């Protein structure tokens, strides 16, 4: 493994048991917990893929940089299958304990351990800002390689223009080396990987409360005020 990537993997290995606590400490001022943000983004992902494919039931999803598998309890009851990969072997071990139906792998951060066009959807949540910037394009290229033509790439990232997001990143113990990327940079990465119909939209402009608040959040999608954003592209 590349030494920089190895250091990142080892850093996250240390959070195998305390990942949620570290995030919860950084977002404590908001009165929310990591689970609320996870649920809101998992629901956004499910709505996004349902509107593209018509249904989620038969779809094979890949979660790149899955950490301890926080998203998987929201996805596995609804989609065909979930595979997930991370550079942190300790996080993958924890994720396996929590989600026995998910197919997990550890990899070197370079080439994803799957054949071309295996998945319908590849997504990543708050991962690219931990990848060394010189490797960002390769990271997205790999997501595209393992996704079939007509499939989707979905990237969730922090909005660097949002002051409270910057505070969270500053206060979060494992974000010391994070390099946040703008919506325009994410868009360029997806386009650079050959995706078509690339779009970005703000998410989490409103606090992550279930039900109506999640739906109302969509009203602010075109404004750059969300604490995070979603970039979406279709593999060609
Ligand atoms: C902030 S955590 C997010 C975990 C998970 N996506 C979530 O939102 O709960 C970032 C994760 O990215 C992983 N990571 C860092 N570089 C990676 C790479 N090149 N490929 C895959 N995962 C990577 C880390 O090991 C860590 O688990």
Could you give all domains of the chain from N- to C-terminal order, each with its CATH number? 3-234 (3.40.50.150)
Ligand 1: does its nearest atom lie under 6 Å from the Cβ of 67?
A: yes
Mutate to test the pocket of ligand 1, among 11, 12, 70, 123 (most ligand atoms within 8 A of CB): 12
Name residues of the chain where pLDDT drops below 50: none
Rounded to two decimals, what is the model's pTM? Answer: 0.94
The distance from CA 104 to its chain's CA centroid, rounded to whole angstroms, is 16
pLDDT at 211: 66
Q: How far is the CA of 232 from the centre of ligand 1 (A)?
A: 18
pLDDT at 219: 66
Q: How far is the CA of 221 from the centre of ligand 1 (A)?
A: 25
Identify the residue whose tokens are 């250091």: 7
pLDDT at 217: 64
Are the CB atoms for 67 and 89 separated by under 8 Å? Answer: no
Q: Which atom of ligand 1 is nearest to the CA of 65?
A: 22
CA distance 213 to 221: 13
Strand 228-234 to 196-203 pairing: antiparallel
Residue 127 in 3-state DSSP? coil
Ligand 1: does its nearest atom lie under 6 Å from the Cβ of 109?
A: yes
H or E element in which residue 105 lies: strand 103-106
pLDDT at 208: 67
pLDDT at 188: 98
The distance from CA 66 to its chain's CA centroid, rounded to whole angstroms, is 7
The token pair at 180 is 């946040």
pLDDT at 226: 73
pLDDT at 59: 98
- Return the residue whose CA atom lies nearest to atom 8 of ligand 1: 125
């Amino acid at each position: 493994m590349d030494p920089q990537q190895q250091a990142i993997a080892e850093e996250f290995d240390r959070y195998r048991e305390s990942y949620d606590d570290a995030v919860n400490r950084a977002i404590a001022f908001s009165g929310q917990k990591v689970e609320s943000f996870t649920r809101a983004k998992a629901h956004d992902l499910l709505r996004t893929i349902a509107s593209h494919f018509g249904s989620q039931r038969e779809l094979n999803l890949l979660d790149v940089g899955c950490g301890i598998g926080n998203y998987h309890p929201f996805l596995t009851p609804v989609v065909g299958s979930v595979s997930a990969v991370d550079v942190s072997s300790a996080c993958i071990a924890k994720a396996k304990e929590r989600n026995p139906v998910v197919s997990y792998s550890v990899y070197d951060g370079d080439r994803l351990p799957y054949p071309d066009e295996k998945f319908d959807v590849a997504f990543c949540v708050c991962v690219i800002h931990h990848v060394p910037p010189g490797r960002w394009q390769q990271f997205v290229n790999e997501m595209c390689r393992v996704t079939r033509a007509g499939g989707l790439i979905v990237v969730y990232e922090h909005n660097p223009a949002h002051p409270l997001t910057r505070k969270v990143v500053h206060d979060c113990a494992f974000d010391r080396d994070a390099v946040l990327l703008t919506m325009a940079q994410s868009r360029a990465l997806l386009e650079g990987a050959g995706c078509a119909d690339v779009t970005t939209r703000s998410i989490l402009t409103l606090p992550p409360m279930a039900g109506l608040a999640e739906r109302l959040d969509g009203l602010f999608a075109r404004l750059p005020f969300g604490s995070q954003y979603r970039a979406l592209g279709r593999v060609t």
